[in-house]
Structure 1
Amino acid sequence: MNLLFVHQNFPGQWKHLAPAMAALPNHRAVALAMHDRPIHAPGVEVRRYNAKRSSTPKIHPWSIDFESQMIRGESCAEACIQLREEGFIPDVICAHPGWGEALFLKDVWPKTKILGYHEFYYHKDSSSFDREFAAPFSWKEACRIRTKNASFLLGYEDIDWGVTPTHFQWDTLPTRVKERTSIIHDGIDTEKAKPNPESKLLIKSQDLTIDRESEVITFISRNLEPTRGFHRFMRALPQIQANHPNAHVFIVGKEGQGYGAPHPSGKSYKEVMLEELEGQLNLKRLHFLGPLPYNQLLKLLQLSSVHVYFTIPFVLSWSLMEAMACGALVIGSRTPPLEEVIIHGQNGLLVDYFQTSELVEAVKEVFQHPNRLESLRQAARQTIIEGYDLRYSLQRQQALIQALGCNTL
């Protein structure tokens, strides 16, 4: 079977699936990516393509995303035509329609089946959930949110089947899309992400070694931003540090814009929160580590006494699942994505997203009763093994691709 994986940030969600498919007998896997960073995808032939033009200056703000998606779609189609001229005809294309790249694939290969990765369908309810750093939600903002789905809806008729990681994400989709979408998580490698009582982590920049005897509070987000409740966590820290003066707080993530809007001041949210909380934090025990290599990230999670994960109603991060697989005790926001994975008091703790005092009290409970809550750590890992393990996910993903390629769906 010939397979084509399309994602501007390849491997993206295909980082496990693409190499697994390439390793099957009589399978050829090709991938298209826009970036020029090194890619680790054994057995996959990676091709690069570039946008043919830039966005139009001063275009209507509601059209910015749509135009960018058209540009990517056109550029991706031209790369596909080159592949076609080389004699490559995919049986199945795995594509992320949210970036626009899937829009014109059927125009190149009309008979090829397309599996769409339906990551998120935008609704105004999610965007209006926490508006602290934005202007009041208006009808114009609701219209802008609606247009973010335009390319997905335009390309939907060409997508033969869809896949989405969680029930929460599936539930955001329009009814007619749900009917042709399977729920299969990308998968967590629980043989790598697992507890290790002997784990140690050396923070060279801080001349600091952390082990299981240390009191460690962790917070991880690709970008430090309101979408992941970074500001909510930071505002709880003065009291958390006062209650637990020996604890080291480790924050992992970039200072980039992320999924939401930038701060109106132009400063990063890290800068904004440090200015707001000036004089209230013990900076000697607060460590901003930036992005971490994966093996170091896992070590940190293995050492975590408390892992805090907040999010608005949006896509769950892999880091949340990896934390649970490592046996971390997670304190999460009581928001729909987390409520799907964490049952309060059984495999983690959930607190009100907006109530700082609840987070402070939950952290205190963990440090005061570590032995009593040990069962939550074990249950958290078991949750990931039973429902989100990589081997289980890969089996289901591969079966779906085979069925789609063989027209048995």
Structure 2
Amino acid sequence: MKNLIHKWNQVSLVKRILVGIFIGIILALTIPNTAEWITIFGTLFVGALKAVAPILVLFLVMHAISKHRSGNRTNMKSILVLYGISTFLAGFVGVLASFIFPVSLSLTTGAEDLTPPGGIVEVIQTLLFNIVDNPINALLNANYIGILTWAILLGLALRKAADSTKNVLANFSDAISVLVKWVINLAPLGIMGLVFEAIVTNGLSALLDYGKLLLVLLGCMFFVALVINPIIVFINIRKNPYPLVFKCIKESGITAFFTRSSAANIPINMNLCEKLDLDKDTYSVSIPLGATINMAGAAVTISVLTLAAVHTLGIQIDIPTAVILMVVSAISAAGASGVAGGSLLLIPLACSLFGIPNDIAMQVVGVGFIIGVLQDSCETALNSSSDVLYTATAEYAKKRREGKEIIINA
């Protein structure tokens, strides 16, 4: 048995995950009622990721900031610029595709009990209140903006602490990183359970009525992932971007697709950054921050579903209003929570630009939840894999400017 487990662990994680996906599909199609207990693996896996992610972020960021020396430059400014550009361009792709392939909806109900934000000011206000959240409360509720704020402040305060104190932080940081690797090794079992549950619970028949909408949404997301993102990466590193793009999609996007949570995928992304040999002081901040504000997939969802409502109601839209929608989509996306369906509640905010009543906008949200089994999975895969992609891009661009050789560990 030990030899069997050793050989299994020697197989690459991606291959093991693909085996888990295959087994999950087979079990869901053959014995869906007998094997219901398999769903517990998926629940446990996502729960473990969500449990370890907040404490991982707190200690990694605190340790990275505390040992940072004055004069050492990080790439955070470049990464933030890349996050902003990619999210805005994703909104642009969504708007453009909606003009070229207009979609009308059969509006549905089912989201009336949800309360969307009242405006862009409320979204920004929520973000600001999250910054000053109680640290214990931030950890309990996985408020990553609050966790990041406290980690940075404590890290700054500990920069002049004794080396023994910094060593304790380093030991805690290393220990939690080991725990993360243990959890990640359970990904094949966890994803097997998630695939089984998705197929048995949702099926695919409910998606057929919204085939055209799904094609536009997923087409935009694939276009951003395979065209827009590579162009941005190439402009920065002046090398073939696809080895890095495919590496991020393969090792981050696949797990994010099934967990449907950018927050839960933070440990996966940290592990990938380590594999890519990126600067730990940078990615320990950029990855949790990206899980909160780098939301290209959410920008696509908000713009496409909003314009679908516009086309359904026969509202005429001019170019200036379309540009405003791109900006609103990008800003709103940055305020979307990093959980399944987080972007959908921001659709009423965007719909208000066109005078669409809240009750109709919430029916569009209901449509979003119906197609969420694919839409939200692809959205999260794009969001989360982009966090690593742009963290790596900023570091490789810095190396290029310094005349150093860029080696992509693909």
- TM-score tier by shorter-chain length is under 0.3
TM-score, L = length of structure 1: 0.24
TM-score, L = length of structure 2: 0.24
Q: Which has the higher strand share?
A: 1
